[in-house]
Amino acid sequence: MENKLYTITVFSENTVGLLNQITIIFTRRAINIETLSVSPSAIKGIHKFTITIFATEDVVEKVVKQIDKRVDILKAYYNTDDDLIYQEIALYKIATDKLLQQESIEGLIRKYHIRILEMNESFVVLQKAGHYEETQQMFEELSDSIGVLQFIRSGRVAITRSKVERLTDMLNARKKHETEQLK
Amino acid sequence: METKTKISGAKALIESLIHEGVETIFGYPGGAIMPTFDALYDYDKKINHILTRHEQGATHAAQGYARVSGKVGVCLVTSGPAATNAITGIADAMLDSTPMVVITGQVGAALLGTDAFQEIDVVGISQPITKWAYQIRKADDIAWAVARAFYIARSGRPGPVVLDIAKSAQVQEVEFNYKPCNFIRSYIPIPEINPTQISDAAKLINGAKKPFALVGQGVVLANAEAELKAFLEKADIPAAWTLLGASAMPTEFRLNKGFLGMHGNVAPNMKTNECDVLIAIGMRFDDRVTGDLATYAKQAKIIHLDIDIAEINKNVMVDVAVIGTAKETLPAITAQLNTSKHTEWIDTFKEFETEEYDKVIKREVFPETGELTMGEVIHKISEATQNKAIVVTDVGQNQMMAARYSNYSQTRSLVTSGGLGTMGFGIPAAMGAKMGAPERTVLMYSGDGGFQMTIQELGTIMQEQIGIKMIILNNHFLGMVRQWQEMFFEERYSFTKMKNPDFVAIAKAYNIDGKEISERSDLDKTIADMLKDDKPYLLVVNVEMKGMVYPMIPAGGSVTNIILGE
């Protein structure tokens, strides 16, 4: 089986030390986390982790089961890029004089759909959202032409194309179970 | 309105334990847990605290207690080095699915993260080896955290939980209100039965000509021994057990075909690669059971019954997974089974049983000349206890011999460190086993190596008069390592030879009776003497120095590649 990029989505209760509980599962199998993004989810009190790794499907399946098994994890699942709408965001800091030397700043902005976040005498900060290849291509082009002082890319955020909302379904089932137990 | 009086966090902790039915605690006091020990002082009528001689001993004792009783074992220790000493037992309990709650003291909340005296990150260290680890920083959390800890430890696939309680939380005053926990939104301990999985499994078994079942500890943890028997009998399925599944079926049970794995019996290992339907029940296809996965049961359709979804397809890809507790899944499948007979298939086991008897067992268990062997000692003691004793082992040759040559007449009769293979497990685990099942005889087999890893627990045995029968199978070697050196390292005995103390004299210093023997003619009488009362006893048997555990499947070898000895 070949290594592919998988996106793992994890929903958890918001408790201390959860990130460690998740990362140790990758550490044990010597899997590098490519990107990681953590934020509160749409549901109050539930946090969402989006993690990308290179692995075979066999390995990613086992890893996701191990994550899902942790007591404080509500739901964990994995997807390939085909199943997802996803995005990363990148910031580029560029020397103002170098940018002004560009033949067409407008051309650059149109080509990459750039936003300018800050501009002063010494530097300009550009923002671009897109897939890895897109933000990377812009980084390479700018590096080669006028140089990039600083570059940072966020972890991936992703939304599934599927109509099934696994977390919502799980929460509903759990709510039902809890109500039945109380009876 | 009723006004509640406030109590200290320490008292709230003890009250919470009492609410959870805790009667026995294994522990060791120290700085950061002192307020709790102070509170415990007033509860000596309700809680029996056993002072071990090392925190590792406390954890193994709690494991032994839990393994024989099915209750949650409880440890109470201080911060820092006490917590790190407890780590081995916690890891052992994790790998062997043993319900345990370990409470560690922690520095005051204000000092957390400052490298304070005896501060370590217990939660961080224990996360990979616990079902749940939680730090209690305020007294308000105590009742909630304890309730949750016990629920998590005992429910579903059991395991260890660590509660790390800051000293400041122990002295804080709190209104105590205990509510047991039986629901956690993010945690599904027993998955619901899936009727399709049940009928798929039943169909496969009904169509099988050569079915074979592998029985693991999951059956014991689910208290499903009777359900297992009904299942096997209805479809006439021969079955074998993993190390932790030992005693889930009595030795005498007609369909019990023995012990699986590296030092298991020949027939069940060979038949794994001959059966047409392999039914794994509450076991996890450990590498010591499967050997080389590439050649493991390739001819068979595989059904895997387990409570833990993460075990499915982890090591062996299965055809039908049946998720749930064996207590429910086994009878559900049994209901759909045809009554059948597989006499011819079952008869084929005999050939290998005879071969193993002739080449291995006869020499090991019934020698007439030469030095004493490990197997004969175990066999004699098993007979002398009418196969009713709880057998606790250390790790190594003594463990494999004890598992192989003890006979079992009731469940929860073998307590051994299977997953982690912890030398030093024996003595403290046996203490805990005796506390958990005081009416039963508890035997503890150890080698001369493992015995010295937790030998200080003789002090606990003396103080509490814990009536365990300790047997050292003394070969003056780290026997299992020596065996590997002989077989795979050209007899280069690198640091496996041991010069041993006078073990009986040591026991005597602890006021424990004992005897050392080397002659076959002394065996029966000494065993009878050891078993005549319920007092602690140490029997040292000097056995052949270069004894070997056979059969053996070399690590990573195929289950059919079995070495039977010279």
Q: Which of B183, B308, B313 sits opposite A181 (nearest CB)?
A: B183
Q: Distance from B189 to chain A by nearest Cα, in Å?
A: 9
In order of B52, B246, B505, B512, the CA distances from B461 in angstroms are: 9, 26, 15, 8
In order of B26, B413, B460, the CA distances from A51 in angstroms are: 41, 45, 49
Which CATH number does B195-349 carry? Answer: 3.40.50.1220
Using CA atoms, how far apart are residues B244 and B37, in angstroms rounded to an integer?
A: 34
- The residues that bridge with B320 in the sheet, in sequence order, are B303
B186 and A74 in contact by Cβ < 8 A? yes
B127 and A16 in contact by Cβ < 8 A? no
pLDDT tens for chain B, residues 1 to 566: 556 789 999 999 999 999 999 999 999 999 999 999 999 999 999 999 999 999 999 999 999 999 999 999 999 999 999 999 999 999 999 999 999 999 999 999 999 999 999 999 999 999 999 999 999 999 999 999 999 999 999 999 999 999 999 999 999 999 999 999 999 999 999 999 999 999 999 999 999 999 999 999 999 999 999 999 999 999 999 999 999 999 999 999 999 999 999 999 999 999 999 999 999 999 999 999 999 999 999 999 999 999 999 999 999 999 999 999 999 999 999 999 999 999 999 999 999 999 999 999 999 999 999 999 999 999 999 999 999 999 999 999 999 999 999 999 999 999 999 999 999 999 999 999 999 999 999 999 999 999 999 999 999 999 999 999 999 999 999 999 999 999 999 999 999 999 999 999 999 999 999 999 999 999 999 999 999 999 999 999 999 999 999 999 999 999 999 999 97
A29–chain B Cβ distance below 8 A for any pair: no
What pLDDT digit, counting tens, does each position of A99-135 carry? 998 878 888 899 999 999 999 999 999 999 999 999 9
Q: Distance from B134 to chain A by nearest Cα, in Å?
A: 9
Contact assessment for residue A162 and residue A42, using Cβ atoms and an 8 Å cutoff:
no
Q: Which of A16, A71, A181 sits opposite B152 (nearest CB)?
A: A71
> What integer pLDDT is reported at residue A166 of this predicted model?
85
The CATH class given to the A4-79 domain equals alpha beta
What 8-state DSSP symbol labels residue B545? Answer: T
What 8-state DSSP symbol labels residue B184? Answer: B
A18–chain B Cβ distance below 8 A for any pair: no
A-B contacts at Cβ under 8 angstroms: 48
Confidence grade of residue A181 (pLDDT, cut at 50, 70, 90): confident
Instruction: Please state the φ and ψ torsions of residue B161, each to the nearest 5 degrees.
Output: -130, 140
Q: Distance from A73 to chain B by nearest Cα, in Å?
A: 6
A17 and B124 in contact by Cβ < 8 A? yes
What 8-state DSSP symbol labels residue B5? Answer: P
Dmax (CA) for chain B in angstroms is 82
Using CA atoms, how far apart are residues B514 and B541, in angstroms rounded to an integer?
A: 11
Polymer length in residues for chain B = 566
Residue reference for tokens 């044990």: A28
Instruction: Please state the φ and ψ torsions of residue B511, each to the nearest 5 degrees.
Output: 65, 30
Residue type, B263: H
Residues of chain A contacting B187 with CB distance shorter than 8 Å: 71-72
What pLDDT digit, counting tens, does each position of A8-35 carry? 999 999 888 899 999 999 999 999 999 9
Nearest-by-CA chain B residue for A176: B185
Interface ipTM: 0.93
A16 and B152 in contact by Cβ < 8 A? no
Q: Which of A28, A65, A72 sits opposite B309 (nearest CB)?
A: A65
A17 and B309 in contact by Cβ < 8 A? no
Residues of chain A contacting B309 with CB distance shorter than 8 Å: 65, 68-69
Q: Distance from A163 to chain B by nearest Cα, in Å?
A: 22
List, by residue number, the catalytic residues of B: 55, 117-118, 167, 480
> What integer pLDDT is reported at residue A180 of this predicted model?
85
B310 and A13 in contact by Cβ < 8 A? no
B-facing residues of A in 41-100 (CB < 8 A) are 61-62, 65-66, 68-69, 71-74
What are the tokens at B431?
């203490």
Q: Which of A62, A74, A178 sits opposite B314 (nearest CB)?
A: A62
Is domain B371-542 in CATH 3.40.50.970, yes or no? yes
In order of A14, A68, B24, B80, B431, the CA distances from B62 in angstroms are: 31, 28, 9, 20, 9
Q: Which of B124, B127, B310 sits opposite A66 (nearest CB)?
A: B310
Q: Over B490-510, what HEC string results?
A: CCCCCCCECCCCCHHHHHHHC
> What integer pLDDT is reported at residue A165 of this predicted model?
80
Question: In chain B, what are the domain boundaries?
Answer: 6-175, 195-349, 371-542
Residues of chain B contacting A17 with CB distance shorter than 8 Å: 123-124, 127, 133
Pairing mode, if any, of strands B48-51 and B24-28? parallel
> What integer pLDDT is reported at residue B527 of this predicted model?
98
Which of A29, A60, A71 to mutate against chain B (most B CBs within 10 Å)? Answer: A71
What pLDDT digit, counting tens, does each position of B120-146 carry? 999 999 999 999 999 999 999 999 999
Fold held by A87-153:
Alpha-Beta Plaits (3.30.70)
Which CATH number does B6-175 carry? Answer: 3.40.50.970
Q: Distance from A118 to chain B by nearest Cα, in Å?
A: 38
What pLDDT digit, counting tens, does each position of A155-177 carry? 999 999 988 788 988 999 999 98
Q: Which of B135, B186, B312 sits opposite A72 (nearest CB)?
A: B186
A72 and B135 in contact by Cβ < 8 A? no
Question: In chain A, what are the domain boundaries?
Answer: 4-79, 87-153
- In B191-245, beta strands by DSSP E: 211-215, 239-241
Q: Distance from A41 to chain B by nearest Cα, in Å?
A: 15
